[in-house]
Amino acid sequence: MLFHVRMDVTIPPELDPDVRTRLVAEERERALDLQRSGVWPQLWRIVGKYSNISIFDVTTGDELHTLLSSLPLFPYMTIEVTALATHPSKLMP
């Protein structure tokens, strides 16, 4: 099923710049891997914020929490998860 996920990132300014650079690079790799696997089909930046809006396609809440908490920047994120359903006016291919 699909979940709408918003992630707001707040990295404390006092974090070691090298650690920060490494974390951001690892986050990017992890995000690309998850997108390739099909569980993270949509990912957008919110204009003006260090935030993203994403769609995840998973089978259970356990799977989604495991994915999200595996993100290297997870300790610096505030995450809001919204369960989605098929819209009755959705154009079907």
Q: Cβ 18 to a copy of itself, closest distance in Å?
A: 15
Interacting residues of 77 by C-beta distance below 8 A, sequence separation 6+:
7, 8, 9, 10, 71
CA distance 26 to 23: 5
Q: Could you say which residues in the range 24-53 bind a copy of itself, by CB under 8 A? A: 27-28, 31-32, 35-36, 42-49, 52-53
Q: Cβ 22 to a copy of itself, closest distance in Å?
A: 15
Structure tokens at 47: 């204009």
Q: 43: closest CA among 33, 26, 29, 31?
A: 31
Interaction site with a copy of itself (CB under 8 A): 1-5, 12-13, 15, 27-28, 31-32, 35-36, 42-49, 52-53, 59-62, 64-66, 68-69, 75-76, 79-91
